[in-house]
């Protein structure tokens, strides 16, 4: 008797087709494995806090003037940080780590080989690292420029609107509000755009506060939470000069940025997500009702 082989995954005309699998979430971002990146990623938050503490008296004396004067310094520090420590959009720290290991293996194999090398090949090998380095620098400069451009054009105005919605004065202190938003945008959005680009799926996770914890997301979330808690002393009747808007908000954003980036790198939080209400709980409640 002849047997007919029917594929198991074949579906009959009347059966429903399977739904496409959901796109997996992007993994958490790692700091680049180079010694310079690992070291500066820990020094950078301390430098920001040191700058904030050093200019605190000037900030209290004239908030608008000091925020404007410190803005170029913050932009420069963030520019150096993202280029030296973070993988640009379209790459990953693991790929960079593999590239470094491949270069080490190649150098070891070439050093241990006893095959004679011609002079022309030696000159070619000496020129190739410079080409690779220039390409690497260019691949980092372009995402960095994009990150700063989008932060200035989109993130800063959006944060300024949020500050007004959450209680910042609308008819007065407009300069202070905009400068505060510019500082918060550089602290929170620059690294996010640099490592994730304009991927809509990732930005939906950012908007839904569902990204896995890493140094980039932790710094951004810490900036927002720090600014939130920093606004608490403003309405209190302490009559202190540092309670003026937006001094405590800016200080809170800097502290939250530093603490969020450092804590999110630890094994306690790295790779974990914030879950407000698990779906299983809702399903159980529906069944009981």
Q: How much is the pLDDT for 130?
A: 42
Backbone torsion region of residue 236, taken as left when φ is above 0, otherwise alpha when ψ lies between -120 and 50, otherwise beta = beta
Question: The whole model's pTM is what?
Answer: 0.76
Diameter of the chain measured on Cα atoms: 97
If one counts every other C-beta atom within 10 angstroms of the C-beta of residue 81, the result is: 24
pLDDT in tens, 95-147: 444 444 444 444 454 444 444 444 444 444 444 444 446 566 677 888 899 99
pLDDT in tens, 14-30: 444 444 445 567 789 99
- Crossing angle, helix 63-85 and helix 119-150, to 10 degrees? 150
DSSP classification of residue 8: T
Nearby residues of 56 by Cβ (< 8 Å), 6 or more positions away: 242, 251
Which of 29, 150, 149, 27 lies closest to 86 in space, CA to CA?
29
Q: How much is the pLDDT for 136?
A: 67
pLDDT in tens, 160-217: 999 999 999 998 999 999 999 999 999 999 999 999 998 889 999 888 888 999 999 9
């Amino acid at each position: 008797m002849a047997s007919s082989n029917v594929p198991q995954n074949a579906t009959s005309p009347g059966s429903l087709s399977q739904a496409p699998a959901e796109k997996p979430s992007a993994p958490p971002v790692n700091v680049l494995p180079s010694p310079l990146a690992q070291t500066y990623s820990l020094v950078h938050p301390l430098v920001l806090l040191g700058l904030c503490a050093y200019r605190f008296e000037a900030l209290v004396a004239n908030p608008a003037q000091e925020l404007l004067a410190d803005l170029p310094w913050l932009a420069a520090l963030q520019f150096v940080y993202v280029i030296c420590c973070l993988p640009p959009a379209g790459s990953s720290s693991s790929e960079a780590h593999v590239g470094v290991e491949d270069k080490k293996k190649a150098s070891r194999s070439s050093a241990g080989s006893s095959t004679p090398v011609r002079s022309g090949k030696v000159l070619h090998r000496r020129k190739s690292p410079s080409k690779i380095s220039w390409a690497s620098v260019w691949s980092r400069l372009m995402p960095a420029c994009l990150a700063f451009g989008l932060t200035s054009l989109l993130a800063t105005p959006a944060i300024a609107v949020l500050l007004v919605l959450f209680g910042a004065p609308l008819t007065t202190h407009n300069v202070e509000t905009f400068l505060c938003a510019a500082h918060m945008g550089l602290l929170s959005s620059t690294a996010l755009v640099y490592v994730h680009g304009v991927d809509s799926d990732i930005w939906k996770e950012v908007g839904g506060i569902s990204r896995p914890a890493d140094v980039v997301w932790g710094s951004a979330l810490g900036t927002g939470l720090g600014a939130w808690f920093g606004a608490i002393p403003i309405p209190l009747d302490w009559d202190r000069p540092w309670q003026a808007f937006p001094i405590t908000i800016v200080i809170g954003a800097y502290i939250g940025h530093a603490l969020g980036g450092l804590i999110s790198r630890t094994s306690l939080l790295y790779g974990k997500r914030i879950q407000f209400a698990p779906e299983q709980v809702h399903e159980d409640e529906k069944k009981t009702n």
